Amino acid sequence: MAKEQILLHACCATCAGYVLEKLAPDYTPLLYYFNPNIFPPEEYNLRRDELKRYADKKKIEFIEENYDPDSWLQVVKGLEHEPEKGRRCDLCFYYRLQQTASFAQKNDIRHFTTTLTISPHKKSKTILDIGREIADQQGLTFLAEDFKKKDGFLKTMAIAKKEGFYRQNYCGCVFSRKKLHFGES
């Protein structure tokens, strides 16, 4: 029997490597790149191209959503000075997961999830609560998995090293760019 499709919101190749491996036994994943938070456009393109290169290598469908950073700036307006893991990040997650779910629904994909929980710099519980809430609203199933668990983060870093992925040193938005660390969008 054919495996069911799952729409995987992915922020970059480094975070997607292990998540794709984890999903493979149970689902047919489709990669969905919707990350209008990423600044500047050159960085957005760099992360996209790296992820697409890996998708092509693995023969996984890759979908890029329209890049509209102004719409993202409107979403987080007034929260520019929030620290990472604060309210700006919550809205950033919500915006990206809501769009992911909308795309899934329009295209008859019943399941969705995200690579975002693989990062040790992000609040997984918040991401999972948001995913569940959106899934309920849209009549979909959200795979609520904290991918960093069971050495998920270490495993994805090992894949990134083996594949020679580009690895950014900030989360993604203009506000996080000043605070450099290993991060994902």
Residues forming contacts to ligand SF4 in the complex (CB under 6 A) are 37, 84, 88-89, 92, 171-173, 175-176, 185
49 Cβ neighbours under 8 A, 6+ residues apart: none
Measured from the CB atom, the residue of 92 and 118 that comes closer to ligand SF4 is: 92
Dist CA 108 CA 23 (whole Å): 19
Closest distance between ligand SF4 and the C-beta of residue 92, in Å? 3
SS3 assignment, position 32: strand
Rounded to a whole number of angstroms, the minimum distance from the CB of residue 6 to ligand SF4 is 22
Supply the minimum distance, in Å, between the C-beta of residue 26 and ligand SF4.
27
CB of 90 to ligand SF4, least distance (A): 8
CA-nearest of 147, 122, 144, 146 to 135 is 144
Q: Least CB distance from residue 173 to ligand SF4, whole Å?
A: 3
Question: What are φ and ψ of residue 55, in 5° steps?
Answer: -60, -45
Nearer Cβ to ligand SF4 (56/83): 83
d(CA 9, CA 99): 9
Between CA 155 and CA 62 the distance in angstroms is: 22
Distance (Å, rounded) from C-alpha 94 to C-alpha 100? 10
Closer to ligand SF4 at the Cβ: 8 or 171? 171
Considering the complex, state which of residue 21 and residue 43 has its C-beta at the smaller distance from ligand SF4.
43
Residue placing its CB nearer to ligand SF4 in the complex, 37 or 114: 37
